[in-house]
Amino acid sequence: MIHIVTDSTSDITAAEAQTLGITLVPLVVRFGDDQYRDGVDLDADAFYNLLQNNSVHPTTSQPTPEQFVEVYRALLRDPDDAVVSMHISSKLSGTLASAHVAAKEFDSGRIHLVDTETVSAGLMLLVRASLQDVAAGKDAAAVAEMARKRSAKVTILVLLDTLTYLQRGGRIGRAQALVGSLLSVKPMLTMKAGEVAPMARVRNQRQGVDRIIAELKARLPLRGVAIFHARVPELIGELRDRVCATTGDAEVLLGRVGPVVGAYTGPGGIGVASLGVD
């Protein structure tokens, strides 16, 4: 049996993971001395309440190798079991490094690690595509290789309310170029080569949505699209309608940015991830 493992930065909820039949490994969010497992001890609502009412900026950390060993051991009970472990970009987190350390405890060929070079909705779309590969009868090595190749077909477009949280968290990457030039404008970011990169500066949400739709049109046809928000569900109605009208038969999923990713986006952001066809 092939088991799909991912981490909580996929922003797949525990309930969704159970329905999908995958295993989530939580990262950790800290507010000072208080520590929470992403999606286990702290859900999105509780996290944003803490974020907006706490003078301490949150920090995050990857799962330990020991956590991964425990997960892999539970899944590799039978000789025919294999794991495809798909994780946040290695340029954003040490999560994959922990998984690599853990994988050395098991026989070669039983655990296949994938640096998806993405995060949040982008990672979630890749996980869902890999589940379809498993259902189609692909072996674990093929599932992992297809996921690596598909990572180049993932696009993330994020319209933030501010760069403050990304800058404080040290994950700003090439988007640092936008700092200091954002008076009366909103930053639009993307992912390039596994790190955060600037996309555009827009004056308001409508202009940002127009740009997102234009970028999606340029990438048609699409296999799937995911629309996520950071505690602003009221902002995604028009975006959802326009995305659905643009992408035709592509599956459109809705979700929210969870605690670890939200520590860097802050509240008020919306984003779209898309996955191109194979």
Q: Is the pLDDT of residue 195 over 80?
A: yes
Task: Assign residue 36 the CATH number of its domain.
Answer: 3.40.50.10170
What is the distance between the alpha carbons of residues 27 and 29, in angstroms, rounded to a whole number?
A: 7
Task: Assign residue 211 the CATH number of its domain.
Answer: 3.30.1180.10
State whether 127 and 163 are in the same domain: no
State whether 232 and 125 are in the same domain: no
Contact status, residue 258 vs residue 38, Cβ threshold 8 Å: yes
pLDDT band, residue 31 (cuts 50/70/90): very high
State whether 212 and 244 are in the same domain: yes
State whether 44 and 99 are in the same domain: yes
Q: Which of 103, 120, 151 is the last residue of a domain?
A: 151
pLDDT of 223-271, one tens digit each? Answer: 999 999 999 999 899 899 999 999 988 999 999 999 999 998 899 999 9
What's the domain count of the chain?
2
* Amino acid type, 13: T
For residue 202, what are the CA distances in angstroms to 159, 205, 206, 223?
A: 9, 8, 9, 27
State whether 146 and 160 are in the same domain: no
For residue 235, what are the CA distances in angstroms to 7, 29, 172, 242, 258?
A: 27, 26, 24, 12, 17
State whether 175 and 133 are in the same domain: no
pLDDT of 102-147, one tens digit each? Answer: 999 999 999 999 999 999 999 999 999 999 999 999 999 999 999 9
Contact status, residue 7 vs residue 24, Cβ threshold 8 Å: yes
Task: Map 87-114 to HEC letters.
Answer: ECCCCCCCHHHHHHHHHCCCCCCCEEEE
pLDDT of residue 253: 96
Q: Is the pLDDT of residue 178 over 80?
A: no
pLDDT of residue 171: 52
Residue 138: both structure tokens together:
């692909």
State whether 140 and 157 are in the same domain: no
Longest dimension (CA), the chain: 59
State whether 79 and 184 are in the same domain: no
Lowest mean pLDDT among 78-87, 136-145, 176-185, 206-215: 176-185
What is the distance between the alpha carbons of residues 61 and 36, in angstroms, rounded to a whole number?
A: 10
Q: Which of 129, 151, 173 is the last residue of a domain?
A: 151
pLDDT band, residue 83 (cuts 50/70/90): very high
State whether 106 and 7 are in the same domain: yes
What is the rounded average pLDDT for all residues in the chain? 92
pLDDT band, residue 179 (cuts 50/70/90): very low
Q: Which of 120, 151, 182 is the last residue of a domain?
A: 151
State whether 263 and 231 are in the same domain: yes
- CA 232 to chain CA mean position, Å: 18
State whether 195 and 139 are in the same domain: no
Q: Which domain holds residue 37?
A: 2-151
State whether 146 and 159 are in the same domain: no
pLDDT of 141-170, one tens digit each? Answer: 999 999 999 999 999 999 988 777 877 755
